[in-house]
Structure 1
Amino acid sequence: MVLLGLAFIALNTAIAYAAVGSKVISIVTGVAFCLAFMIVVRLLHRAMWLSLLSFIPGLFVLVGSVELAPDLALENRGVRQQVTVVDAEVAGKRHTFTLEGDDGPLDEPLIYRGSAPDYEIGDTLTVLTDPNGVIALKEADRVDSTAKLGSLVLGGSGWTFIALVAGWRGHVRRREGRFDTLVI
C-alpha cells in the first residue's frame, strides 16, 4: 500500500509536468488518486477513520504535485528578465501590471490577486518567463519548487504513516481473531 501511494504521487506529478499548461487535468487525476488511496485503505483494512484521515495528507499530495510542475518548469526553462513596472490596472482584487524590459514592453502582464500588492509603478524586479508561452510569468523570488516538493514529501510521509498504522491495525486484529467490520 505504501508503494501504491508513492506510485500515485509520482504519476500525478508526472501528469502535472506533462500537462503544465492546464492545471485542471492534474487536479482531476490527483483527486482521483487521493480517492483511490482512501478506498484502498478502507477496503484492505476496514478502518473508515483511517480512510478519512488519509484525506489530510492527500491534500498535501494534491497541492504539492499540481503546484510543483509550473515552478519546476520555470526554473528549468524559464528566461530571467529584469523589468520595470510601467502601468497598473485594478479590477477588484486582481491587479494587472504592465512590464517593460530592455527589449521593450512584455507581451504578458504580471497578475497579482490580493488586496495589497508589493509592486508600484517604477519598481524594478526580476521575472521568469516561459519561452513556450505556456506558463504565466512570475516574479523570480516567488518561484520555489523546493517548498512544493516539501509539501509533496509531507503528504507522502502522511500516507506512508497511515499505511503502516493500517497494516499494524490489521495484523493485531487478525492475531486476536477479530475479523468483523467494525468502523473503529
Structure 2
Amino acid sequence: MSTSAATEFAGAWTVGRSVRRTALLVLFGLLAVVLNTGIGYATASTRAIPIVTGILLCLAFATGVHLLHRATWLALLSLLPALFVLVGSVQLAPDLALEQRGLRQQVTIVNAEVNGKRHTFTLHGTTGPLDEPLVYQGSAPGYRVGDTLTVLTDPDGRIALRDADRVDSAGKVTGLLLGTLGWTAIALLAGVRGHVRRRTGRHAGLIL
C-alpha cells in the first residue's frame, strides 16, 4: 500500500499533529514530576497527600501513553519509571529537610513492638529516652533491641524521626531524574509508533 493511500485511513494523524501530541505528553510528564515534588514539599509532614496525587499523575501519564501509542505494553512499561518518580517526589522533601535542619544523635534501641507490619522501636539517647520512637513499616526492619544507630530528628516536629543512614536526598534526586528520562523516552517511542499505527490503519489491536 502506498503512503498516500495509508494516510486515508480514518484517524490517521499528520506528522505535525503527532509531534505536537508527543511533545504535550513529554511536557505533561515533566510537569507531573515538578508538581508532585512541590506537593511533597508543601506537605512534608505527611506522605499521604503526595502519594495519592503521585499515583493519580502516574496513572494519567500511562493513560496518555496508551492513547498516543494505541497499544498497551508501553503504557504498562511506563509504570516502571513511574515508581522512581513516585518514590523520589514523595520522599525528597522530608529527606532534604532532615539533612538541612535535623538534629543528629546516637541512640540505642531498648524495646521493640510489632503490630502487623508496623515495627515501633523505643530509643534511648545519651541524655535519656527519646519521646519519639523509630517506626518501620514492612516485614524486615533490620533492627534489634540493643542495636546502636544514629538518627535524625526534626526540631520543628513536622517530620518523623529517621535512621540517618536511610536519609538520602541525593539518591531521591537521582531517582527523579531516572524516572523523568524513562518517561521521556517512552513518550517519544509512543509518539513514533502511534503515528505509524494510525497511518497503517492499526487501530483494533491494543497489545502490540
- What TM-score do you get using the length of structure 2 for normalisation? 0.75
Aligned to 2:149: 125
Aligned to 1:108: 132
Residue 30 in structure 1 maps to residue 91 in structure 2: no
CA separation in 2, counterparts of 1:7 and 1:180? Answer: 31
Residue 150 in structure 1 maps to residue 189 in structure 2: no
Corresponding residue pairs, total: 179
Q: CA RMSD in A?
A: 2.3
Question: Mind listing any 5+ residue stretches in structure 1 that lack a counterpart?
Answer: none
SS at match of 2:86: helix
CA deviations on 1:44-67 (whole Å, 9 max, x unpaired) are 332222222212221221122112
- Relative to structure 1, is the Cα distance of residues 134 and 90 closer, same or farther in structure 2, using a 3 angstrom cutoff? same
Matches within 5 A, 1:5-20: 5-20=29-44
- Relative to structure 1, is the Cα distance of residues 44 and 133 closer, same or farther in structure 2, using a 3 angstrom cutoff? same
Matches within 5 A, 1:16-165: 16-83=40-107, 85=108, 87-91=110-114, 94-102=119-127, 104-112=128-136, 114-115=139-140, 117-121=142-146, 124-165=148-189
CA separation in 1, counterparts of 2:38 and 2:44? Answer: 10
Question: Mind listing any 5+ residue stretches in structure 2 that lack a counterpart?
Answer: 1-24
Assess if the C-alpha contact under 8 Å between 1:80 and 1:129 holds in 2.
Answer: yes
Residue 181 in structure 1 maps to residue 206 in structure 2: no
CA separation in 1, counterparts of 2:42 and 2:30? Answer: 18
Amino acid at match of 1:44: L
CA separation in 2, counterparts of 1:80 and 1:116? Answer: 20
The structure with higher relative contact order (CA 8 Å, sep 6+) is: 2
Assess if the C-alpha contact under 8 Å between 1:42 and 1:48 holds in 2.
Answer: yes
- What TM-score do you get using the length of structure 1 for normalisation? 0.84
